[in-house]
A = this chain, B = another copy of it.
Amino acid sequence: MSRHDGRQPNELRPVQIERPYFGSAPGRVLISAGRTTILCTASLSEDLPPWKLKSENPTGWVSAEYNMLPGSTAPRKSRRTDGRGTEIQRLIGRSLRAVIDFQTLGPRMITVDCDVIQADGGTRTLSITGGFIAFVDAVRSVEDPTFDPSAVFLNSVAAVSVGVVNDVPVLDLDYPEDSTAQVDMNAVMTGDGNIIEIQGTAERSVFSRDQLNQQLDLAAAGIQELTRIQQTALGDDWPIADR
Contact = CB atoms under 8 A, between A and B. Distances in A.
A197 B195 contact: no
Contacts of A111: 70, 76
A113 interface: yes
A231 interface: no
Interface in A172-221: 189-190, 194-202, 204-209, 212, 216, 220
Contacts of A69: 23, 39, 41, 113, 115
B24 A72 contact: yes
Interface stretch (A2-10, A90-98, A121-129): A90-98
Nearest to A47: B75
Interface residues of A, number: 61
Contact of A75 (B37, B45, B98): B45
B199 A195 contact: no
A194 B220 CA distance: 22
Interface stretch (A25-33, A143-151, A234-242): A25-33
Contacts of A86: 83, 86-87
Nearest to A88: B87
Contact of A197 (B71, B87, B200, B209): B200
Interface string A82-108: 011011011000100110000000000
A198 B198 contact: yes
Interface string A152-186: 00010000000000000000000000000000000
B71 A28 contact: yes
Nearest to A109: B76
A10 B74 CA distance: 40
Interface of A: 21-26, 28, 32, 37, 39, 41-43, 45, 65, 67, 69-76, 79, 83-84, 86-87, 89-90, 94, 97-98, 111, 113, 115, 117-119, 155, 189-190, 194-202, 204-209, 212, 216, 220
Given A24-B71, A25-B76, A45-B76, 17 more contacts: A22-B32, A23-B72, A25-B74, A39-B69, A42-B71, A43-B74, A43-B76, A45-B75, A65-B79, A69-B113, A70-B111, A71-B113, A83-B89, A194-B207, A195-B207, A197-B199, A197-B202
9 contacts: A21-B117, A24-B72, A41-B70, A43-B74, A67-B79, A197-B202, A198-B199, A198-B200, A209-B216
